[in-house]
Structure 1
Amino acid sequence: MRKTALMVLCFLVATLQLLAQTKTLSGKVTDDKGAPVANASVLVKGTKQGTVTKEDGTFSITVNSTAKVLVISAIGKAPQEITIGSSSQIGVVLANTNNELDEVVVVGYGTGKKKANVAGSLTKLDGAVVENKPAANMLDALQGKVGGLQVYSSTGEPSATPSVRLHGVGSLGASNTPLYVLDGIPVGPGSIVSLNPNDIESITVLKDPSTTAIYGSRAASGVILYTTKKGRASAPQLNVTTQYGVSNLVETTEDMFNSFMNTKQLTDFWIATGYRTQAQVNTLLAQYPYDTKWYKTYYKNNVPTFQLDANMSGGGGKTTYYVSGSYFKQDGLAYRSMFERYTFRSNVQSQVNSWFKFGLNLSGGLDKRQTNPDGANSTNRGLAMLAAPFFSPVDANGVEYPDLIPGWNRYNPKYRADKLRSDGRNVQFNPTAYAEITPIKNLVIRSQAGMDAYDYTTTSIQMPSFIGSLNNGSASESFERGSQSTVTNTMEYKFDIADNHDFTLLAGQEYIKGNTQGFSGSSNGHTDDRLLLINAGPNNRNASSFRTEYSYQSFFGRLNYSFKSKYFIDLSLRQDQSSRFGRDNRTANFWSAGVLWKAKQENFLANTTWLTDLNVRASYGTSGNSAIGNYDNLTTVGTGIYENQSTFGISTAGNPQLGWESQKQTTVGVDMVLFKRLNIKADYYLRETGAQYFLVPFPYTSGFDEVRYNVGSIQNKGIDLEISADILKSKDAFITPFVALNYNKNKITELFQGRNYWVVPNTGVSYVIGQPVTFLYPIWAGVNPTNGDPQWYLPDATTPDGFVQNSTTDPTRVTSTFNSSTLQQTTGIQRYAPFNGGFGLDAGYKGFFLNANFSFSEGKYLINNDAYFFENPNQFPGFNQSVNVLDYWQKAGDNSRFPRNGVQFTQFDSRLIQDASFMRLKGLTVGYNIPKAILDKSKFLRTAQFTITGRNLWTLTNYGGPDPEVDSNLSLGANPNTKQIVVGLSLGF
């Protein structure tokens, strides 16, 4: 008994001594607006002892009695050092640094590093920029946000992928789309529309060779990295967001549609020009006494948009998780235009022990797509405004005609949508898994595998009940399966020498294999709407199939060096081998070198109070482009059928010498922070692309009209500028405007076969050495005021081949005889807009917040092919026309827009090349976060937010067509962009 008592006494004494040597501290970390800061680091200064804050910002840590100071830090916040006193309760406020340079970024494999220490040009955006936007594709929300990144939404189709270019057009014969990388795995542009934007944690745009060269053959057009959300160690958290809204035509599109003549204007014009007599008009109007705005028939109003997103995240011990599901549906304004998407994601990570961790990301989705087919030359939508206004889609009682519209003799678009069906269904799968070991300190070995896979099925049906082909229905179905598998292995080692010299070495290997295969079948002669399978059609049964494959084998390495954390050098090297090229040209080497100087750390700037930070960067490097067909280097064989036997024949010439398109780029830039409030990022770049993939014309006697070669070069140079400022920053309010600008100038520096110019067939575009890509058309000289004849400028007859490199506008050298081939000349109008960018504002007061984003393009031009139909009454008699045609020559002395009656009003000349520059209020969000004090009373709500969001709410443009944002040389029958207004509610539990 005495022994037991003695043991208890010893234990109590030891416990009291231990308690006397330690102390438990508790507290809460908030930002300068009072919001909790989760995952902030709480570290005992001078030791590795620490913890992280919970989701509500609270923490608890037991420290030794010798501990004097706690260091509290978080990404994007200014760190705080707190002296440990007698109190065990600590309250810490971490102010926003407003310095993006403190962010951690992952740049091309390996572990992350501070943005301030990257000797390259990049822009990192928080995932919030794409969350809860009323568009299916997250790329749309990037418009105007990144200097140098041009994003155009060319159509109002909800399922469409915007066109994206970085620093202009770097290739005239291959793709200019950036490389998209999702959680370290390359994915195709079409996969982006199948992802849930609310799953994105951050988006990083890599712009210069120092950041892109390590991606080698696919990085010539830049790289966009998407990182999805991960779980954090905390109690389970459930977030639910829902939105509902409507879509309508953009006002400028409505203005264009309203600019067509009404019934009186059209019939008066016919009488004035002798096309119809008054008696004929009276008879016509007696039968059709209407005045119809046809766009209201072919485009719907207040079309719904709905989305629902739910995610749960958390973790405990060594494992974290993030699980989400979403539903999105948006109908287009045109009939048979729709996108419906279901997605699921599960991201799990586990730190098994101190040297091994792994992760598994599973992402899948199903989407259904309908795309309106009636653009281009179709009067069933694209050119439907040609319908005479006195016809009507409804009868005298206001009842809609169920099928054929009398007079107009076109089908009701609802009827066509019901009887002529085309539906697409896509199943998307993007799994990623990795394993990472740290066998010794600072050595990380990582293996990662992932896939970008899809199954796409298209079903097209013409119902047998369609009165345009009664009892003769048709059915076709095609199936395509594509996958790109990527396996990456890397080894990264970090070490320092004498504390001042820091090194990071990375070596890696990557293998990519892609394949696409599919088949299709069709038949017709169906007689029953209930029997629509292909085998129910007795006539014209057809079947076909295809398959393509490609692969890449790559090795790469990178060296990062810094001296005193002030001077940095980044070096990278990559070797790619591709099956897309000839045996002797499959291998290419790409490299880059970048330097960074953290000038603010120099003694002569250290005490400059107005200069908060200053980094100067420079880089040079190479990259490549392999975005061509899988078999362009090979002579391929095609098959056919002759007398029930298979036939074979050479279908493409191939080119065994085909190799890599190469690119060299120099970038010089500066990042600075002034007065702790003003962030400025500026870059100058010079990009030169050689050995381009040109389809070189060949004599038809060879059996081929063109063969792909590595010839020609183009240069792009320009300036990126990104500015943001904290005009007001306090606990209750903030105002932060931002600007993102790019000026880009392109120039053709070499063509093929020794040519000085090349006219791209059937495009209205020409390539001339020493000039930008330029529109090539006959140049309009106006209407002769004496006789009303049209006039065009004659090209310079002294120029060889009659081609004029510089436009000629000599008023003494005109002709009234139109000939497209003999009058064509360089117009001096650039095909690609030199100025692109955006600006906006983030602001808030207490729980209220506002985000506005404008985008613009200046110097953008389009061939408005719609105007050829809508401003040509002599070519399209009996159809409606724009009110513009009323300005035609009628008597001597008239200064008119169009020539006299009886002469073709509009030709394919420079008048159709219209200024499509525009400015758009791309996004506007206003919202309110319900205060935590109110939510706490509910006992279950953690956060609650109400928002109203608009997209494309306002547009400024002088373009005369339906939509200035079309990214093409020519626009005809475009399905125009739409504006959306949605209301949303987000709840956190």
Structure 2
Amino acid sequence: MKKLLQSLFVLMFVAVTAMAQERTVTGTVTAKQDGLPIPGVTVRIKDTKIGSTTNGNGQYSLKIPAGSVQLEFSSIGYMPVTRTLAAGASSVNISLEGDNKDLDEVVVTGYGSGRRVSSSVGSVATVSARTVENKPVANAFDALQGKVAGLQVFTSSGEPSQTASIRLHGVGSLGASSAPLFLLDGIQVDESSILNMNPNDIEAVSILKDASSTSIYGARAANGVVYVTTKRGRIGSDAVITVQGQYSVANPASDKFYRNFLNTAQLSQLQIEQGLRTPAATAALLAQYPNDTKWYDYYYKKDVPTYQTDVTVSGGGGKTAYYISGSFYQGEGNRFRSGFDRYTLRSNLTSTLNNYIKIGLNLSGGSSDTETNGLATNDTNGPLALLAQPWFSPYDANGNEYYGTIIPGWGRYSPRYIADNTPYNRNRLTFNPTGFVEITPVKNLTIKSQGGIDGYIDRETSARLASDVRFPGAGTLSEYYSRRINKTVTNTIEYKFSLDKHNFTVLGGQEYVDGITQEFGANTSRLPNDNLFILQNGDASNRGVSSFKSEYTFKSLFGRLEYNFNNKYFLDASVREDKSSRFGANKQTATFWSVGGMWRAKQEEFLRNVEWLTDLTVRASTGTSGNSSIGNYESLATAAGSSNYNGLPGVSQNAPGNPDLGWEKQQKTTVGFKAAFLNKIRLDVEFYYRETSSQLINVPQVYTTGYSLVRTNIGALQNKGVDITLDFDVYTNDKHNAFVTPYITANMNRNKITELFQGKNYYVNPGTGVLWAIGEPVSYVYPMWAGVNPSNGLPQWYIPNTGDASVQTRTDANAVTSSFSAANLQQNTGIQRYAWLNGGFGVNAGYEGIFLNIDFTYSKGKYMINNDRYFFENPTTFSGFNQATTVLDYWKTPGQNATFPNLTQQFTQFDSRLIEDASFLRLKNLQLGYNLPKSILEKTKAIKGAKIFFLSRNLLTFTKYSGPDPEVDSNLALGSNPNTKQVGFGLQLTF
């Protein structure tokens, strides 16, 4: 009995002692960038399996033994943090740095299970949700500009519905598309599908840049891969409800071009000097029309609004995680009759059914309405409406608009009235469902099947209203309906195993992609009334119908082998066979491959103790990929059914076909390294060389063949360059959640044509001003301007060399002519079509809940033909119309050095003067915000987070380009709708 009592006493003592030593530690984990709580963060006692996760409010609670221990905090997309907890301490709050500091925690999603960037041989750059969200534009990719080295993102228009122009590492093809492959949660989509989704639903955008990361996608991946991952909930997290609204106003990013027109006094004096009107007649004219109209202020609206509202619910219970969102976006354009409205709904669900089956279903859809002003390019009722003389006004003396009546003196109806009476509208219903089943029958063996659809239904309506006083009772109507369904089905099997320090991953897969687009339309005319504006009410004898159908199919088999030794030396190899219906029967199948290696040098003994070197990783890869971005039937001899023979319908051949048409191929080699110094400075440098061969070029034919162009595999193109990414911590202070982190990205790229067709050394693309010449970059070809002869005021152009005049540039002052000939004076200007330097820089900073993000973007060596100047700097050709102020510098007296010739000559020809340096520096994004302290929010009992922020886009633009917008991604700019400058604010509440 005594021994029993002694034993019980000992057990009670041990238990009480253990209870006395055990303690509960609590805290909150927030994001360093904006101070908002992070759910689902893993909190673990170092070197143990004891841990917990944060709830929806970023809070955790963990029982740990007494004494000093180390706690590890980690979450996907954030840099892990380890903190030593002193004996007796019961609370520790942590701020985690975003993935722009250390991409090791970002899972790269693709075929098979995810791979962390630190173990991925391929070159992958990832942009987090915080970069994409809360921007005042519909297009999510606009936020990527300047953020990823090597990725060029230009927005060429201020239309709210505009998609971005995206290229990776230069122009990849002279004949086919240079756009990358876009994937949304693993399913191929068109870029327009990203425009029609809510940017705030995006978790991350990964840019796959080298062969090791893209070759597994084989077909269509020659120009890189943009992989968009949407947000998901977290199992074990309480429901988090977020409500956000933002409002902004927009104006053209720069009005310098529009303010550079002659006023009434200047234009009237110029026309007197031209002899168009006597001083007395001019005085009489101005007495009748005493105006000085700024037509730009009439044509472009000011401070047009943009609204966006989002509601999201995310979390997870049991074995299911969910993310549900709805949004509304309404953006108005600065041109009248320009706008974009969008409604979206998304539901992402993942569930673990048991120990070996996991399923997921993403359902997303939306509806968008696009309104576009059809008066574009060189329409004098559109962008060229600025030719209107300033003494005429669209308003009468009382300020009433001449709407529906001819503007006195000008003899025209107002551009606003014409646009209102010729509307164009498009409604698009989009749907992007994806689902997967993942089975793990045995440990480390994963079988996954995934399927998805990228689809839309369009209805386009264009009309001329019956009430248009220009054509009374003669309304026209066209209705156009189209439906596109692209399906992707992917099956993979992956096995991971280790032999001591040797780690292997083997992946095999099959993929099937097909797409079908069906369209039909109808039109009618002589509609008598706006209230009866439907097709059947038009003239029965004047109706038309049309229809169209197009299909394609891809079938693919692929495999990948990954190996690493002790997580220090990495090798991977991939191979993919693609078969495409777009190519000829003889060349439908192609095989692509890649090999790559990576060395985590910092883990070597001779570097492990080098304290100033925090990280050093070296990587290299080479491989091939393909491009199939052409029409669906270009390999076939197709026929059209619009011919008539002897009064009966018939068909005629309209394309010769090419049964040997095959894949455009590209090989890319990349070498780079990533280093970190003093745990504060991070540098990523990557050199690349890619060669495109068997290009898909439309080769010109002799017209006697019956065809002008035939798509052919011919020609070669090189791109080589370097990507540089640098960011560093100027200041950090965890106590005050303070940091200042500048960054810079840069891509330097050079292109060179190495092979053309038909034995040609050069080829001038008709009507483009663009030259392809062997051994040269893509360049501009125009007559070279030699200036105005100061003795007689005549224009002068350089006389080119004989022979290959389009290859060699000649600017000999002794070889000039005043007789203009576009054909005979044409020569290589030596000006490159594409910019050699693109990138961005900025700073992210914060202090005690205040956060600041400043992002600049730049492009150097960008040139563009400013076609607007041909109209606005030509008073002798467009006599009587308004002109730019620059035309006042014309030759008047002998010995004068003038910009333009004398008044007997045409001021501007299509020559090298129109090629302008469109390099630019833009303040792309500025955001300043404040997170309300938790001490205030706790009193509400409901609000867990509150953020108010100021936002702006394209706030400043610096450029020498004299046109409306230097960012237009084209060889020629005419009537461009400039990008917008937007300022606004937003409010986000988390419950």
**TM-score bucket (shorter structure):** over 0.9
Pairing 1:612–2:614 present: yes
Distance verdict in 2 for CA 1:37–1:974, change over 3 Å: closer
Paired residues for 1:619-658 under 5 Å? 619-640=621-642, 642=644, 645-658=648-661
Paired residues for 1:576-975 under 5 Å? 576-640=578-642, 642=644, 645-731=648-734, 732=736, 733-797=738-802, 799-800=803-804, 803-975=805-977
Once residues 936 and 65 of structure 2 are traced to their aligned partners in structure 1, the CA distance between those partners, rounded to angstroms, is 39
2:3 corresponding residue in structure 1 = none
Once residues 73 and 256 of structure 1 are traced to their aligned partners in structure 2, the CA distance between those partners, rounded to angstroms, is 51
- Indicate if the aligned counterparts of 1:105 and 1:113 stay in contact, CA closer than 8 A: yes
- Indicate if the aligned counterparts of 2:624 and 2:667 stay in contact, CA closer than 8 A: yes
Distance verdict in 2 for CA 1:36–1:258, change over 3 Å: closer
CA shift for structure 1 position 293 = 0.3
The one-character-per-residue Cα deviations of 1:63-116 (angstroms, maximum 9, x if unpaired) are 89999876543343344376897x694536466497424223225312222211
2:193 corresponding residue in structure 1 = 191
CA shift for structure 1 position 195 = 0.8
Amino acid corresponding to residue 240 of structure 2 in structure 1: Q
CA shift for structure 1 position 954 = 0.6
CA shift for structure 1 position 603 = 1.1
Unaligned regions of 5+ residues in structure 2, if any? 1-6
How many residues matched?
Answer: 973
The one-character-per-residue Cα deviations of 1:504-535 (angstroms, maximum 9, x if unpaired) are 11111111010000100000011111111111
- Indicate if the aligned counterparts of 1:922 and 1:951 stay in contact, CA closer than 8 A: yes
Pairing 1:175–2:177 present: yes
Distance verdict in 2 for CA 1:334–1:644, change over 3 Å: farther
Q: Structure 1 length as normaliser, TM-score?
A: 0.95
- Indicate if the aligned counterparts of 2:56 and 2:240 stay in contact, CA closer than 8 A: no
Once residues 139 and 978 of structure 2 are traced to their aligned partners in structure 1, the CA distance between those partners, rounded to angstroms, is 16
- Indicate if the aligned counterparts of 1:724 and 1:739 stay in contact, CA closer than 8 A: yes
Deviates more, 1:53-62 or 1:923-932: 53-62
Amino acid corresponding to residue 389 of structure 1 in structure 2: P
1:297 corresponding residue in structure 2 = 298
Amino acid corresponding to residue 748 of structure 2 in structure 1: Y
Once residues 868 and 89 of structure 2 are traced to their aligned partners in structure 1, the CA distance between those partners, rounded to angstroms, is 75
Once residues 207 and 130 of structure 1 are traced to their aligned partners in structure 2, the CA distance between those partners, rounded to angstroms, is 19
Paired residues for 1:236-315 under 5 Å? 236-251=239-254, 254-315=255-316
Distance verdict in 2 for CA 1:45–1:960, change over 3 Å: closer
Local SS of the residue matching 1:584: coil
Amino acid corresponding to residue 153 of structure 2 in structure 1: V
Paired residues for 1:380-459 under 5 Å? 380-403=381-404, 404-459=406-461
Once residues 213 and 810 of structure 2 are traced to their aligned partners in structure 1, the CA distance between those partners, rounded to angstroms, is 44
Distance verdict in 2 for CA 1:395–1:32, change over 3 Å: closer
**Selected match of 1:140 from 139, 142, 157:** 142
Amino acid corresponding to residue 246 of structure 1 in structure 2: V
CA shift for structure 1 position 577 = 0.7
- Indicate if the aligned counterparts of 1:569 and 1:593 stay in contact, CA closer than 8 A: yes
CA shift for structure 1 position 123 = 0.9
1:344 corresponding residue in structure 2 = 345
- Indicate if the aligned counterparts of 2:29 and 2:54 stay in contact, CA closer than 8 A: no
The alignment yields a C-alpha RMSD, in angstroms, of 2.3
Distance verdict in 2 for CA 1:54–1:276, change over 3 Å: same
Distance verdict in 2 for CA 1:95–1:295, change over 3 Å: closer
Amino acid corresponding to residue 786 of structure 1 in structure 2: S
Once residues 41 and 653 of structure 1 are traced to their aligned partners in structure 2, the CA distance between those partners, rounded to angstroms, is 63
1:510 corresponding residue in structure 2 = 511
- Indicate if the aligned counterparts of 1:77 and 1:94 stay in contact, CA closer than 8 A: no
Amino acid corresponding to residue 427 of structure 2 in structure 1: R
Distance verdict in 2 for CA 1:37–1:470, change over 3 Å: closer
Amino acid corresponding to residue 463 of structure 1 in structure 2: L
- Indicate if the aligned counterparts of 2:75 and 2:105 stay in contact, CA closer than 8 A: no
Once residues 282 and 216 of structure 1 are traced to their aligned partners in structure 2, the CA distance between those partners, rounded to angstroms, is 71
- Indicate if the aligned counterparts of 1:21 and 1:65 stay in contact, CA closer than 8 A: no
Amino acid corresponding to residue 510 of structure 1 in structure 2: E
Once residues 17 and 833 of structure 1 are traced to their aligned partners in structure 2, the CA distance between those partners, rounded to angstroms, is 74
Distance verdict in 2 for CA 1:88–1:681, change over 3 Å: closer
CA shift for structure 1 position 48 = 4.6
- Indicate if the aligned counterparts of 1:44 and 1:67 stay in contact, CA closer than 8 A: no
Once residues 471 and 953 of structure 1 are traced to their aligned partners in structure 2, the CA distance between those partners, rounded to angstroms, is 46
Unaligned regions of 5+ residues in structure 1, if any? 1-9
Once residues 248 and 510 of structure 1 are traced to their aligned partners in structure 2, the CA distance between those partners, rounded to angstroms, is 46
Distance verdict in 2 for CA 1:68–1:952, change over 3 Å: closer
Distance verdict in 2 for CA 1:473–1:564, change over 3 Å: same
The one-character-per-residue Cα deviations of 1:393-438 (angstroms, maximum 9, x if unpaired) are 1011221111232222332233223211110000000001111111
Distance verdict in 2 for CA 1:158–1:541, change over 3 Å: same
Distance verdict in 2 for CA 1:286–1:36, change over 3 Å: closer
Amino acid corresponding to residue 948 of structure 1 in structure 2: F
Distance verdict in 2 for CA 1:546–1:35, change over 3 Å: closer
The one-character-per-residue Cα deviations of 1:132-162 (angstroms, maximum 9, x if unpaired) are 1011101111111111111111111000101
CA shift for structure 1 position 372 = 1.6
Amino acid corresponding to residue 27 of structure 2 in structure 1: K
- Indicate if the aligned counterparts of 2:594 and 2:622 stay in contact, CA closer than 8 A: yes
Distance verdict in 2 for CA 1:782–1:517, change over 3 Å: same
Amino acid corresponding to residue 678 of structure 1 in structure 2: I
Local SS of the residue matching 2:257: helix
- Indicate if the aligned counterparts of 2:29 and 2:41 stay in contact, CA closer than 8 A: no
Once residues 82 and 255 of structure 1 are traced to their aligned partners in structure 2, the CA distance between those partners, rounded to angstroms, is 58
Paired residues for 1:220-239 under 5 Å? 220-232=222-234, 233-239=236-242
- Indicate if the aligned counterparts of 1:580 and 1:630 stay in contact, CA closer than 8 A: yes
Local SS of the residue matching 1:336: coil
Once residues 246 and 380 of structure 1 are traced to their aligned partners in structure 2, the CA distance between those partners, rounded to angstroms, is 26
Once residues 650 and 96 of structure 1 are traced to their aligned partners in structure 2, the CA distance between those partners, rounded to angstroms, is 63
Local SS of the residue matching 2:389: coil
- Indicate if the aligned counterparts of 1:27 and 1:60 stay in contact, CA closer than 8 A: yes
Local SS of the residue matching 1:257: coil
1:5 corresponding residue in structure 2 = none
2:470 corresponding residue in structure 1 = 468
CA shift for structure 1 position 49 = 5.2
Deviates more, 1:403-412 or 1:661-670: 403-412
- Indicate if the aligned counterparts of 1:488 and 1:510 stay in contact, CA closer than 8 A: yes
Amino acid corresponding to residue 575 of structure 1 in structure 2: E
Q: Structure 2 length as normaliser, TM-score?
A: 0.95
Deviates more, 1:406-415 or 1:363-372: 406-415
- Indicate if the aligned counterparts of 1:461 and 1:532 stay in contact, CA closer than 8 A: no
- Indicate if the aligned counterparts of 1:31 and 1:96 stay in contact, CA closer than 8 A: no
Identity %: 50
- Indicate if the aligned counterparts of 2:511 and 2:555 stay in contact, CA closer than 8 A: yes
2:92 corresponding residue in structure 1 = 91
